[in-house]
Amino acid sequence: MYSRLGKRILDSLLSFIGLVVLSPVFLILALLVRIKLGKPVIFKQDRPGKDGRIFRLYKFRTMTDKKDINGGLLPDAGRLTPFGKALRATSLDELPELWNVLKCDMSLVGPRPLLVQYLPLYNEEQARRHNVRPGITGHAQINGRNAISWQDKFKLDCWYVDNVSFGLDLKILFGTVAKVFKRSGVSSATSATMEAFTGNVEKDGFQVMKKDIVLIGAGGFGREVLWQLKEIDKQEKQYNILGFVDDRLADNLSNYTIDGLPVLGDNQWLVNYPKKICAVICIGNARKRKEVYEKVNTNSNIVFPAIISKDVKCSDSVSFGQGCIICLSNVMTVNITIGDFVIVNLDCTVGHDSVLEDFVTLYPSVNVSGNVHIGSCSEIGTGANIIQGMDIGDNSIIGAGSVVVKKIPSNCTAVGVPAVPIKKHEPIGE
């Protein structure tokens, strides 16, 4: 039987041999880190060990101390140099942890020691990963490493706790060697290392992981939606906001952070994303919003949640489509249909029995009276008023401050008091 004593003896023996045999490698790596990254050579950080007891973990340093213009550290991608990436890809940065194994802080094999601040975020099942000593490598490391979700990682950790054996440890050690040579799973799909664990949320009596979400569009409206998401999360804590996706910034992504969050890539980054993820399209232009949706929707992993501010006043008879964004201080009365990917900006009112078709945009302070129908991809400018029973066709624009008192046909721009068509548009798709 593979007893705790037997595992401990094996850890002590192999870690001692490793420290002796690899001492020349330690000296060479220490010199390279000092030359390429500066001091300190060794990265030290408190981590939770068995039963949650805190110990000091040692690794070779892989990041610089580069800061942004406000004095804050850049995201991992901005501080991780090619040399640091090479250390991580080969797992050579982990070698000093052999000292932690010799000191009985860690084992060669076990769940990886994570950050101390994660301790209060685990649910009861996830916390079982601390029933054994943490490891330099583990079951999760040979089954995806940083490329798998936190939820999957915790399941693998707890499976190891329940099935630990000498044979399993050998399998993981040999599997780790193979992974190191393949250099797979070093980074997650959303960051240079692994995005932070932000806890669980409770739904229908069960604890579930927070949902990863990205914002498509890093302009002013994207920043407003980010703020709204953060306000929603203060109450419900349902989203883990990863960052922005924006075609315009794709050529020089490493230099961009938006309100502290990275620009992860262009729209193709999202099309190629390999796991389930939520996305919100923060683009005011209706036609552009539809084009972006049609591009990224080729990835079946993407879910488009409705983002509805908590201070929106509406009855239970108002229905909201996927991907819609309903901003602060809006009032919607009864029997209203809001289509997919509709944006209702700040301080609008929508009256009874109205329909806003897919991809409609209401800019701030629009007043829509009852029984109004607004066709798909139409945009209603700031401060416009639409009186009772009006019909606005597809792909039309109503100018700011205009008053609609008669039907507006499709594919035109209408302005004035009363609003009259002044320009025709090409129909969508032509």
Map out the domains of the chain with their CATH numbers: 4-182 (no CATH), 210-303 (3.40.50.20), 307-424 (2.160.10.10)
What 3-state DSSP class applies to 350? strand
Whether the model clears a pTM of 0.95, i.e. scores above it, the answer is: no
Among 307, 284, 321, smallest CA distance to 231 is for 307
What was the pLDDT predicted at 15?
94
* Chunked mean pLDDT (size 10), the chain, 430 residues: 80 94 94 91 93 94 78 69 86 94 95 89 88 93 73 89 92 85 50 62 51 91 92 77 83 68 88 89 95 93 90 90 94 94 96 96 97 97 97 97 96 96 83
Please give the distance of CA 91 from its chain centroid, rounded to a whole number.
25
Q: What whole-number distance in Å separates Cα of residue 340 and Cα of residue 321?
A: 4
Q: Which amino acid is at 343?
A: I
Per-residue pLDDT, 413: 97
pLDDT at position 188, please? 45
Q: At what angle do helices 4-21 and 23-37 cross, to 10 degrees?
A: 70
Strands lying side by side in the sheet with 319-320: 319-320, 337-338, 355-356, 373-374, 391-392
Half-sphere exposure of 373 (CA within 13 A, CB side): 8
Which residue type sits at 195?
E
Give the pLDDT score at 204: 44
Q: How many residues does the chain have?
A: 430
CA distance 42 to 23: 15
Q: What local confidence, expressed as pLDDT, does residue 207 receive?
A: 45
pLDDT value at residue 1: 54
pLDDT computed for residue 169 by the predictor: 92
| Closest C-alpha among 249, 270, 271 to residue 258 | 249
Separation of alpha carbons 351 and 417, rounded Å: 21
Q: What is the largest CA-CA distance in the chain?
A: 87
Residue-level pLDDT at 276: 82
What 3-state DSSP class applies to 348?
Answer: coil
Measured CA to CA, the distance from residue 87 to residue 82 in angstroms comes to 9
407 contact partners, CB below 8 Å, separation of at least 6: 390, 391, 392, 393
pLDDT in tens, 85-114: 888 888 899 999 999 999 999 999 999 999
Q: Which residues pair with 208 in a beta bridge?
A: 201
Name the pairing type of β-strands 261-265 and 107-109. Answer: unpaired
Tokens representing 13 are 């023996």
Whole-number pLDDT of residue 202? 52
What is the 3-class SS of 55-101, one letter each residue?
Answer: EEEEEECCECCCECCCCCECCHHHHECHHHHHHHHHCHHHCCHHHHH
**pLDDT tens digits, 108-145:** 999 999 998 888 788 888 999 999 999 999 998 888 66
Give dist(CA 3, CA 1) in Å, integer: 6
